[in-house]
Structures are given as C-alpha cells and as structure tokens.
C-alpha cells in the first residue's frame, strides 16, 4: 500500500510539472510558435505621361503600380483612380479659394475632379506580386498641372486601403 501511495505521489508530481510546463509554454512561447497572420503591406507608385492628341484634347496616361510588400495575400475590393485640375485656376478654384483649405482642420485643398475611373474589383495579389494598371484620362489642353490619386481598398480590417497622390506638372506645352 505504501508503495502504491508513493507511486501516486510521484505520478501526481510529474503530472503537476507537465501542467506547469504547458502553461508556461502557452504563456511565453505561444506567439513565437503560433504567430498571428501577417498583416498586409503594400506600396503604390505612379508613372505619368501626357501628350496632345489634337488642339482640343490632351491624353494623360497614369501607370499605377501596387506592389505587395508583405507576407499576406491582398484581396482588393475596389480600385479608384482620379485626376483633378490644379492649374491654371478656373472659375471653380479661383486664387482666393485656393489660399484657404476647404475643410476645417484639413491642410490640403481639394481640387476640382476632372475624371474618376474604377479598376477591376476582386483582384488578388500574392506576396511579392505586382499589379500594374494603365489608366487613360482625356483632359483639356490648357491644363498645366494635375493631381492624380490612386486608391486601392482591401478587404482586411488590419489595413483597409493604400493610396497615393501625385502632382504632375505638364508644363506650358501648346496643343495647337
């Protein structure tokens, strides 16, 4: 009987040590062995080009590049590209209006949007993959400076969207 009690005491001690070791492993090493899903990470870049098609129309090509720089796949819900007129000022954005922000607390001016185009929704971008889009806008030939914005919206709550705003100086080239 004493031998049986000694065996139970030893088994109980071993069981207790195992339970403590498992609890410590869960507390200290769980994140190291079972890391959370990686967060999506991406970068956006633009390459812009323009040329006169005729005396009435200037062609603006925005080559937008979204690079998945993270370890997680990115599922894109929406892609929006827009071009806004910066200069010369027209009736809707006079020099007086440009000098002050449109929204209280916002330090940038919201330029009049010329055109908005949406890309293909539902794209999936694997880690280290690149999505390149050519977006063509047709604008008035007298526009000298534009603001091109690309917004990529993902389905992840960790990183809902990536965007880039590029100001492009077309210059004084004449389209006549």
Residue-wise pLDDT tens digits, 112-142? 888 898 877 778 888 888 988 899 999 988 8
Two tokens, residue 79 = 């892609």
Residue with tokens 């185009």: 117
Burial of 46 (C-beta count, 10 Å sphere; 0-12/13-18/19+): middle
C-alpha angle 116-120-123 in degrees, rounded to nearest 5 = 135
Predicted model pTM? 0.69
> Which pLDDT score is estimated for 92?
55
> Which pLDDT score is estimated for 43?
87
Percent of the chain whose predicted confidence (pLDDT) is above 70 = 77
Phi/psi at 137 (nearest 5 deg)?
Answer: -120, 145
Two tokens, residue 168 = 């492009």
Spell out the alpha helix ranges (H) of the chain: 2-33, 95-98
> Which pLDDT score is estimated for 83?
92
Architecture of domain 42-169: Sandwich (2.60)
Helix (H) or strand (E) holding 47: strand 42-52
- CA distances to 97, 107, 140, 153 from 53, rounded to whole Å, are 31, 36, 11, 33
Residue with the larger pLDDT of the pair 174 and 11 = 11
Residue-wise pLDDT tens digits, 19-45? 988 888 777 776 666 666 677 888 889
In the three-class reduction of DSSP (H, G, I as helix; E, B as strand; rest coil), residue 12 is classed as helix
- Is-cis flag, bond preceding 166, omega within 30? no
> Which pLDDT score is estimated for 61?
92
CA proximity to 168, closest of 36, 64, 92, 56? 64
Rounded Cα distance, 172 and 52, in Å: 12
Residue-wise pLDDT tens digits, 81-111? 999 988 877 665 555 455 555 555 555 678 8
Residue 158 scores a pLDDT above 70: no
> Which pLDDT score is estimated for 63?
93
Q: Would you list the domain boundaries of the chain? A: 1-35, 42-169
């Amino acid at each position: 009987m004493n031998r049986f009690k000694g065996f139970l005491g030893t088994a109980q001690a071993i069981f207790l040590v195992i339970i403590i070791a498992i609890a410590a492993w869960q507390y200290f090493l769980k994140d190291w062995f079972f890391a959370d899903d990686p967060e999506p990470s991406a970068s956006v870049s633009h390459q812009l080009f323009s040329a006169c098609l005729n005396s009435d129309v200037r062609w603006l090509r925005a080559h937008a590049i979204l690079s998945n720089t993270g370890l997680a796949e990115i599922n894109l819900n929406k892609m929006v590209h827009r071009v806004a007129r910066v200069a010369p000022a027209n009736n809707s954005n006079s020099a007086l209006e440009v000098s002050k922000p449109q929204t209280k607390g916002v330090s940038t001016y919201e330029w009049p949007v010329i055109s908005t185009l949406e890309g293909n929704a539902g794209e999936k971008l694997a880690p280290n993959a690149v999505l390149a889009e050519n977006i063509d806008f047709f604008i008035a030939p007298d526009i000298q400076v534009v603001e091109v914005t690309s917004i990529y919206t993902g389905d992840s709550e960790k990183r809902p969207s990536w965007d880039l705003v590029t100001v492009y100086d077309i210059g004084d080239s004449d389209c006549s």
